[in-house]
A and B are shown apart, each in its own frame.
Chain A
Amino acid sequence: MSKTALSERLLALLSTRKRASEVVGDLLEQGLTGVAFWVAILRVALRLSLRWTSAFVAAVACSVCVIALYCLYVVPKWKLPHHESWVVWSVCFAGVSLCLATATGLTASWYGIHDRLTRFTALIWLTVTASACLAWLPHAPFFVASALVAEAILLSRQAAARRLLLCALAPAAAFATSAGLFYLFSRLTAIPSTGRAGIADLAFAALACFSSLLLEFSIMRSLRFDHL
């Protein structure tokens, strides 16, 4: 494989094929060869990958916020007398909140905090997070479920809102599915099989997280159109 084809493939992984072809074409036109060519390619690749890295960091940071909030605020309430009825709801909401957190982090980093999709995803995320945290209140799950159903019905009446809803929920659902499959795989095959929280477990968790985020990210980018 020639150096231009190789560099084009490398850049296409971090951007689009058109962008990769443009960058390589521009560098060739400027007469860059040998080390200078590769240095320029690596600098462009680094800049492009910084955006990806920051998007993944933002997604993980949002997830950590959910886990920390849940552990600090909700877990101590598991001792309350009406334990059985609300804990299941609360855990379900927390799981959904975790998936929406990654979607919010990715959209905020990729499209900016002023973007409509970011604000919309963040709004749903905050609603579900609040639901997870307040599920311990008596009858709270019924009120929350009613409010969410009413919200979904209202939103589905407008085409633009339907599209936003799809763009917010589909990537989060993809993340949930992928993470769930990784979890099932690890349960069924006992891979990694260290038995303790060792390097293999951490590596597997990182692989599951990264792959799921990558899938979520690609679905988010393919669904969102420019004039949303």
Chain B
Amino acid sequence: MKQGLGELEQTILLAILRLGTEAYGVSVRQMIAECTGREITPGALYTTLDRLERKSLVQARDGDPTPERGGRAKRFYTLTRQGKTQLVDAQSSFRRLMEGLELLA
């Protein structure tokens, strides 16, 4: 049985994809707020990122420590090939369901 992606998972994956190499916790939240008008809580963001990492849909790398973060490094995320494939699958399903409905017109 194929495992689907949840709505929040898809939103976060899309935000990471849009941000390119600059996707980390703060920027992902900001991007989602700008594009969807939805403020996701830090708890929801980090538990979802945790899950996406565990499913090998995203991979993380540490940046350089910065003073405004109290000397802590940013954690940048990128989609893995598996992550892109699952996201495209999920979005294609939505597109197929939307076809002929002309809701966006």
Interface residues of A (CB under 8 A from B): 4, 15, 18-19, 21-30, 40, 43-44, 46-48, 51, 111-112, 114, 226-227
Contact = CB atoms under 8 A, between A and B. Distances in A.
Nearest to B24: A26
Interface in B28-61: 41-44, 46-47, 50, 54, 56, 60
A125 to B, nearest CB: 20
20 contacts: A15-B46, A15-B50, A18-B60, A19-B46, A22-B25, A22-B46, A22-B74, A25-B70, A28-B69, A28-B70, A29-B26, A29-B69, A43-B42, A44-B43, A47-B43, A48-B43, A48-B47, A111-B54, A114-B1, A227-B56
Contacts of B66: 29
Contacts of B46: 15, 19, 22-23, 44, 47-48
A83 B50 CA distance: 51
Given A44-B43, A47-B44, A21 B56 contact: no
B47 A25 contact: no
B54 A226 contact: yes
Contact of A43 (B3, B41, B50, B73): B41
Nearest to A43: B43
A21 B73 contact: yes
Contacts, number: 66
Contacts of A46: 43
B72 A21 contact: yes
A29 B68 contact: yes
Question: Could you say which interface size class chain B belongs to?
Answer: 20 to 34
Interface of B: 1, 3, 24-26, 41-44, 46-47, 50, 54, 56, 60, 62, 66, 68-70, 72-75
Contact of B26 (A26, A43, A48): A26
Contacts of A4: 70
A21 B75 CA distance: 9
Contacts of A28: 68-70, 72
A226 B69 contact: no
Contact of A114 (B3, B25, B54, B68): B3
Given A25-B69, A29-B69, A44 B42 contact: yes
A26 B70 contact: no
A77 B95 CA distance: 58
Nearest to A26: B25
A26 B47 contact: no
A51 B54 CA distance: 14
Given A15-B50, A29-B26, A227-B56, A22 B42 contact: no
A22 B3 contact: no
Contacts of A51: 47
A192 B26 CA distance: 50
B23 to A, nearest CB: 12
